[in-house]
Structure formats: C-alpha cells, structure tokens
Structure 1
C-alpha cells in the first residue's frame, strides 16, 4: 500500500475550474472519502491520482514518488467505476483474471487462480465464477467489478461512487463488506460519493469539496462536531443540520448571522414553545418536524413518544454552532 499526497493541485477544463489548489495527504492504509455534490471536484481528483488526467499546476506523489510523466499503469492504482464495465462475453472468472494477465504484471497462472479464488470468497461470489457476466444481478456485477480491482493488490484503490446504482439493502451490505476488506488488507482507499452515510460509516477521513476547493479535511466525527462552515456542516448528518437566524432563540454573538443546530442538539421540555407539525416514526427513533417562530426545524426524540401533530413542545438550543454572513463558523 502507499501514502498519496496532493500538493496544490489545480485543474481547469476551458473556463471551468474543476480543482483549485487542493492539498491533501491520504495516509498509508487510510480510507478517505471525498464528499460533495455534483460538480464539487470529486471525480476530477480521482482522475488526477489515477493518471487519466493531469494537473495544470501542482503535483501528486504516490509512495514518495512524483507521478509526473507516469502512465496509469505505472502508478499501480486500481479504479472501480459507478458503472460495472465488465466484459459481457467473459465469465466472472475470466473478468477477474483479466488485469492479472497484463504483460506488465506477468502473474504466474497458479497465482492468478489463487488470487481469483481468494477474492471471490471474500466477495461471496465463488459460486458464480463460471457464470457469464450477463447472467448476474446488478449487485453481483458490482462485486465482480470490485473483485477485479482487489485481485491486483495495487498501491491505491480508487472508487468512484461504486454503490450508487444499487438498491438500499445491497448498498448497506456492500458498505460493510468494503470496509472489512479495506481493514483486513490495510489498503489505501480514495473513495468518491455524495452519500453522507457512506462517508460516516466507512471513512477514516473525509475531504469536503466545494466547487473544486477542499474546505475541510478530518475524521467524520471531527467534521460532524466541528464544521468550519455551514456548507461543511450540511455535508454530514441525517436529518440535516437546522440553519436558522442567529437570534431566533435569544442573544447571539455580535457577528453571528446564523445558528446551526444538529437535530439531537435541541433540548426538549424546557425553553420556548414550538408547534409539532409532523411526526415520522422510524423504528429506532422518531423525527419531529416543528414550527418555531415561523421557522421550520427538525429534531429527534424517543421512538415511543406520545407526542402528536398539533402538540406544543418547549425547546431550547444545546451546543449550537454560530456562523457569520459568509457561512464561516465563528
């Protein structure tokens, strides 16, 4: 495995700046998730690291070596895309063997057989090895796509929203499997998603991107508990953070424009009156949608609450964040 360092990486496509001065260290064995909406620069970052594209400025090193002038093959990285990109006329076994048969790797036949069997067992597709790729379900095809990357044992695994096209249950199952695989291999993963649940559950570190700029980098817990801005605060957390006028509950810092309250940071039973507008029962918890001084906000409460729509609930902030007019944390 290897450490990956991006230093002041900038990339433009015509007049559009895709990345602007991005610097980031992906430690050896880390599972780093790049988080942000479409257009934030996530996939562009992967393309820079993989060698599918080159920076206009800055440098990227893998395992202490600059990647300038290196082809994707020379960088020893493996990439998994959102689309499965399998060879439909080949079996699962042949698809997984394909990268090992590269003239650059020159993998012995016995080693190919061993690696494919080992990875197929990890991904629970051993019984599918002789099936044609076209005979697989979507989840099985994505497992094969992931397996084709795992057999190579590259320096870095690059994954571009590999679970986004799967159904919810399969996404949840593969999240667990991917994290276990990464932990067991001690592998370095750079993983792109817009799904905050994937970021919270899999990442050792999260890079929050906004229009090509890295606005915060840290553990999921650090970003959740100490966001640097409204934008960063809104990337993690379900339900989303409540952003309200700074003085809605009373006096606020002089330069504060907004108060940010995580749903669990709204204390119930004390404070000022709020109207319960809607209740969502989710099994392990209940979400309350409230109206407070003509502002909507969401909080969470006990799964077995007796509250009903139309009830009055007293609330007050607990552990609030304050932000200035630019959305920067005070």
Structure 2
C-alpha cells in the first residue's frame, strides 16, 4: 500500500471550481473518509486521484511517484462505486476473477484461484461463488463489488459511497466488516460519504470538504472536539450541534456571533430555565428537545429521566465553542 499526497490540487468544470487548492496527505495504511454534502468535491477528489478526471493545477503523488500523465490503469488504484458494477451474466467467481485476467496484470491461473478463494473467505461469500450475480441480495452484490477491488491488491482503494444504497442494518453490518478488512489488509483507503456515522466509526482521518475546499483534515475525534469552524463542527455529531446566537448566554468573547453546544456541553440543572418541548426515548439514551429564549436546543439526558413535555429545566453552557460572523472558531 502507499501514501497519497495531494498538493494544491485544483479542478475546474467551466467557471466552477470543483476542487480549490486541496492539499492533503493520506498516510500509508490509513482509512480516510471524505465528508461533506452533495457538491462539496468528495467524488471529484476520488476521480482526480484515480486519474478519471485530469486536474488543472497542483500535483498528486502515490507511493512517492508523481501521477501526472498516468492513466487509471498505470496508477494502480482500485475503485468501488455506489452502484454494484457487476456483470449480471457471470457468476460471483467469474466477477471476482475478471480484474485479475487483465492482460496488464498477467496473473497465473492458480494465483487467480487462490486470490479469489481468499477474498471470498474474507467477505464471507465463499458459498456464493457459483451463483450468478442476479441471484444475490443487495448486500451480497455489494460485497462482490468490493471484492472485485480487493482481489487486485492495488496501492490505494477508492470507494465512492459504496454502502449508501443499502438498508440501515446491512449498512451497519458492512461498515464493521469493511473496517475489519481494511485493518487486516493494512490497506490505504479513501472513502467518500455524506454519512457522519460512517466517518466517526471507520475513519482514521476525516477530510471535511466545502465547495471544493478542504476545511479540516484530522482524526474524527479531533474534528468533533476541536473543530476549526462552524461548518466543520456541524459535519460530525449526533444529535447535531446546537448553533445559537452568542449573546444568548453570558461570557461570549469579543467578535463572537455564534455559540456551538454539543449535548455534553450543556449542563443540566443549573443556569437559566428552558422549556422541555418533547422527550424522545431511544433506549440507551433520551433526547430532550428544549426551547430556550425562543430557540430550539437538542440535548441528551438519562434514559430513565422523569421529565415530560412542558416542564422547565435549568441549563447553562459548559466549555462551548465560539464562532465569529464568518463561522471561524474563536
């Protein structure tokens, strides 16, 4: 596997800058998640690394080698798309073998058989090898799609929202499995998603993108606990961070226009009264939907809280985030 370095990468589509001076180092063996809403530049970054989209400025290095002018095949990367991209008339075995039969790789038959068997075992689809792709469930098809990338042992794996079309339970199962596979292989993996749960649970590093610019690149816990901006703070955390006017509470520093409060930054039972609007019991935790000075606030409390809608609850900020008028952290 290999380190990936993006240095000042810029990509334009007409007048639109899809990537704007993106500089980022993906460590060898890391699981990097690119996070942001539609249009943030996540897929464009992946396509630039793969060579599917040529860049307009900057450079991309994989394993210390400059990728300028190299085709996707020459870059030795493997890409998994959101859709399954399987050959429906072929069996699972034949789908997995297909990348290894490339004239570029020249893989011997016995090596192909051994590699397919190994990956099928890793993905727990050995019993499906002789099934046609059309006979598989959605989760099985996505495992085969991921397997088509894994059989190749490229320098870098690139995955573009591979779990987004699956149901919630299957997505959670494959999330755990994909992280296990990446760890076992020691693979360098760049993964695109808009799902913050995937980012928090799988990533060693998260790149937060906003309209083509890299806002913050750090381990997910660091972004959660020390965001550089209001935008970065809002990308991670469930329930979503509460963003309120800075003057709603005392103690705002000069230039502060917004205060950011995660659930654990709201001390309950002290301070000024808020009104409980709704109590949402989720089993392991209870979410409280509050109203404070006309503003909604969501926080969490004890699962067995006796609080009910309409009751008063005193709250105060504890180590909050402060942001200026442009959303920069103060």
Shift of 1:251: 3.3
Q: Which residue matches 1:118?
A: 118
Secondary structure of the 1:272 match is strand
Distance, in Å, in 1 between the alignment partners of 2:101 and 2:284 is 49
What pairs with 1:309-328 in structure 2 (closer than 5 Å)?
Answer: 309-328=309-328
Q: Which residue matches 1:3?
A: 3
Deviation by residue 1:55-101 (Cα, 9 ceiling, x = unmatched): 10011000000001111011100000000010011000000000000
Q: Which residue matches 1:197?
A: 197
Distance, in Å, in 2 between the alignment partners of 1:207 and 1:70 is 25
Q: Which residue matches 1:139?
A: 139
Deviation by residue 1:7-64 (Cα, 9 ceiling, x = unmatched): 0000001111100000000010010000000000000000000010111001100000
Distance, in Å, in 1 between the alignment partners of 2:263 and 2:328 is 20
Shift of 1:283: 0.8
Q: Which residue matches 2:288?
A: 288
Distance, in Å, in 2 between the alignment partners of 1:157 and 1:237 is 26
Distance, in Å, in 1 between the alignment partners of 2:37 and 2:155 is 27
Shift of 1:265: 1.2
Distance, in Å, in 2 between the alignment partners of 1:317 and 1:170 is 38
Q: Which residue matches 1:249?
A: 249
Distance, in Å, in 2 between the alignment partners of 1:112 and 1:303 is 53
1:108 matched to 2:108? The reply is yes
Q: Which residue matches 1:42?
A: 42
Shift of 1:306: 0.8
Secondary structure of the 2:248 match is coil
TM-score by length of 1: 0.99
Q: Which residue matches 2:220?
A: 220
Q: Which residue matches 2:69?
A: 69
Q: Which residue matches 1:94?
A: 94
Shift of 1:254: 1.5
What pairs with 1:6-25 in structure 2 (closer than 5 Å)?
Answer: 6-25=6-25
1:272 matched to 2:249? The reply is no
Secondary structure of the 1:93 match is helix
Distance, in Å, in 2 between the alignment partners of 1:224 and 1:245 is 20
Distance, in Å, in 1 between the alignment partners of 2:277 and 2:124 is 46
Q: Which residue matches 2:149?
A: 149
Gaps of 5+ in 1: none
Distance, in Å, in 1 between the alignment partners of 2:180 and 2:307 is 40
Secondary structure of the 1:78 match is strand
After TM superposition, what 4+ stretches of structure 1 lie above 3 angstroms from structure 2?
none
Secondary structure of the 1:141 match is helix
Shift of 1:194: 0.2
